[in-house]
Homo-oligomer: A and B are copies of this chain.
Amino acid sequence: MTALGPNAPLIGQPGSRHRLDTPALLVDRDALERNIAAMAAHARAVGVALRPHAKTHKSARIAQLQVMAGALGICCATLGEAEAMVAGGLPGVHVTSPQVTPAKLARLTALNERATGGLSVVVDHPDHLAALDRAALAARKPLDVVVDYAAGHRRTGCATVEDAVALAEAAIAAEGLVFRGIQSYSGNLQHIPVRAERRLWALRQLEELAGIVRRLRDRGDAVPIVTGAGTGTFDLDPEARVFTELQVGSYIFMDVDYHRALKDGRDAPPFETALSVATSVVTVNAPAWVTTDAGLKCFATDGPVPEVASGAPPGSRYEFFGDEHGKLSVPEGAPRPALGSMIECVTPHCDPTVNLHDVYHVVSGDTLVDIWPIEARGKR
Residues of A at the B interface (CB closer than 8 Å) are: 1, 6-7, 19-23, 55, 77-78, 83, 97-104, 107, 124-125, 127-128, 131, 150, 153-159, 163, 187, 280-287, 291, 293, 296-298, 300-302, 320-325, 327, 339-340, 351-352, 355-358, 377-378, 380
Partner among B99, B286, B340 whose Cβ is within 8 Å of the Cβ of A154 = B286
Residues of B within 8 A of A125 (CB): 283-285, 339
Residues of B within 8 A of A285 (CB): 124-125, 150, 154, 156-159, 163
Residues of B within 8 A of A351 (CB): 297, 323
Residues of B within 8 A of A297 (CB): 351-352, 355, 378
Residue pair B103, A21 in contact (C-beta under 8 Å): yes
With contact pairs A23-B380, A77-B323, A155-B291 given, residues A101 and B296 touching in the complex (Cβ less than 8 Å): no
With contact pairs A97-B293, A125-B339, A293-B380 given, residues A104 and B324 touching in the complex (Cβ less than 8 Å): no
A-B contacts, 17 listed (Cβ < 8 Å): A1-B83, A21-B380, A22-B101, A99-B282, A100-B280, A100-B281, A100-B282, A101-B280, A124-B283, A125-B283, A125-B285, A323-B355, A324-B380, A355-B356, A356-B356, A357-B378, A358-B378
With contact pairs A124-B285, A285-B154 given, residues A356 and B378 touching in the complex (Cβ less than 8 Å): yes
A54 to chain B, nearest CB (A): 12
Bound Cα distance from A155 to B283, whole angstroms: 8
Bound Cα distance from A375 to B22, whole angstroms: 19
A336 to chain B, nearest CB (A): 13
Residue pair A150, B352 in contact (C-beta under 8 Å): no
Residue pair B97, A282 in contact (C-beta under 8 Å): yes
Tally of this chain's copies: 2
Partner among B1, B19, B301 whose Cβ is within 8 Å of the Cβ of A301 = B301
Q: List 15 additional contacts besides A78-B324, A97-B324, A125-B339; criterion CB under 8 Å.
A: A6-B107, A19-B103, A21-B101, A21-B107, A22-B380, A100-B340, A101-B340, A102-B340, A125-B283, A154-B285, A154-B286, A155-B322, A155-B325, A297-B352, A302-B320
A323 to chain B, nearest CB (A): 6
Bound Cα distance from A102 to B98, whole angstroms: 47
Instruction: Give 8 nearest A-B pairs by CB, closest first.
Output: A21-B103, A301-B302, A159-B285, A156-B283, A98-B282, A100-B282, A154-B286, A77-B324
Bound Cα distance from A320 to B301, whole angstroms: 13
With contact pairs A280-B100, A291-B156, A352-B297 given, residues A55 and B324 touching in the complex (Cβ less than 8 Å): yes
Of residues A100, A131, A157, A298, which shows the largest number of chain B Cβ atoms within 10 Å of its Cβ? A100
Residues of B within 8 A of A99 (CB): 282
Residues of B within 8 A of A98 (CB): 282-283
Bound Cα distance from A124 to B285, whole angstroms: 8
Residues of B within 8 A of A293 (CB): 97, 380
Of residues A104, A150, A377, A380, which shows the largest number of chain B Cβ atoms within 10 Å of its Cβ? A380
Bound Cα distance from A356 to B77, whole angstroms: 16
Of residues A154, A297, A323, which shows the largest number of chain B Cβ atoms within 10 Å of its Cβ? A297
